Amino acid sequence: MTKAQGPVYRFAPTPNGRLHLGHAYSALLNAHAARRSGGSLLLRLEDLDGSRCKPEYEAAAFDDLAWLGVSFEPSVRRQSAHAADYARAYGELQALGVLYPCFCAKNEAEKASHAAGLGRDPDGAPLYSGACRHRLAPGSSDRPPTLRLDMARAIALGPRQLFWREFGEGDDERQQLADPSVWGDVALKRRGAPATYHLAVVVDDALQGVSDVMRGRDLFAATSLHRLLQSLLGLPGPRYRHHRLVLDAAGEKMSKSASSSPLFRLREKGVSAADIRAVLGFDSAADRPDLVARFS
């Protein structure tokens, strides 16, 4: 891969639903940063979940982004086409002895975690209790296990203190101490999928030469885990810029699962791309007192 000139940013939606204002804010922010720095902007489709990611959502995302005026480098990376890249990374982690198989059913693992009085990881999943850590495959040995990260061993193999470079939405850098232990023995590979988000995103950013990861604050805690994986795999750590989230009228994060109003619905109501940029703070909305009402 040819090394790009200038900073490299990326926008990486999952094509399992229509884009909403939260996506628009992240895409526009990445585009603005790439333009300002004389860098480039990549588009990645995080389509590992074949049951939920659909071609029609991918096509709709291209349409919405073009309407917003966000342009990307010509090459688009689809995670579903890069299982071999992830397999190599899993092989490296297994060689380090930091992965182990888990044959627990999901409900069984959650029940054991509750019984042990364990808390939850930053994504809200129960921390793994280790209940099935030494169990052999039940029934058929052909049943693929979940691969979990031996967090204690992984941390022991990493640097004594692990940091990342955090900029938020500004230009001031701070050294952010990572704490991957809050994830426990996190599942890094599940049955039926070539990779989980945490492994895939680390591999993708390295292979695409991403220098600046600009994403929502809801992924701030995940960066601790990502920095640990980067350290174990010998991958560079990008600069991180975790931006604010766009909230709905109830003060909740906009999401597809919450049925936040998608961009195409706003377009049907007569909202323009300029309106979107204004309400998200990229252009002045001082002379548009009616603007917010049109988004309700």
Do 72 and 86 fall into the same domain? Answer: no
In a domain, 164, yes or no: yes
Instruction: Count up the domains in the chain and report the number.
Output: 2
Alpha helices in the chain (DSSP H): 21-37, 55-68, 83-96, 106-115, 151-157, 197-207, 222-233, 263-268, 273-279
**68 phi and psi angles, rounded to 5 deg:** -70, -20
Do 180 and 132 fall into the same domain? Answer: yes
Let me know: does 90 contact 203? Beta carbons within 8 Å: no
> Cβ–Cβ contacts within 10 Å for residue 160, how many?
6
For the chain, 296 residues long, the average pLDDT of each consecutive 10-residue run is: 76 96 95 96 96 95 97 96 98 97 85 87 92 68 84 96 95 96 95 93 98 97 98 98 80 53 91 93 59 48
Do 190 and 225 fall into the same domain? Answer: yes
Do 283 and 235 fall into the same domain? Answer: no
Do 87 and 224 fall into the same domain? Answer: yes
Per-residue CA distances from 29 to 23, 143, 206 (Å): 10, 44, 21
In a domain, 256, yes or no: no
In a domain, 182, yes or no: yes
In a domain, 254, yes or no: no
Do 269 and 177 fall into the same domain? Answer: no
Q: Residue 183 belongs to a domain with what CATH number? A: 3.40.50.620
pTM score = 0.89
* Domain membership of residue 11 as a residue range: 1-79+261-296
Let me know: does 17 contact 58? Beta carbons within 8 Å: no
Do 171 and 235 fall into the same domain? Answer: yes
Let me know: does 285 contact 43? Beta carbons within 8 Å: no
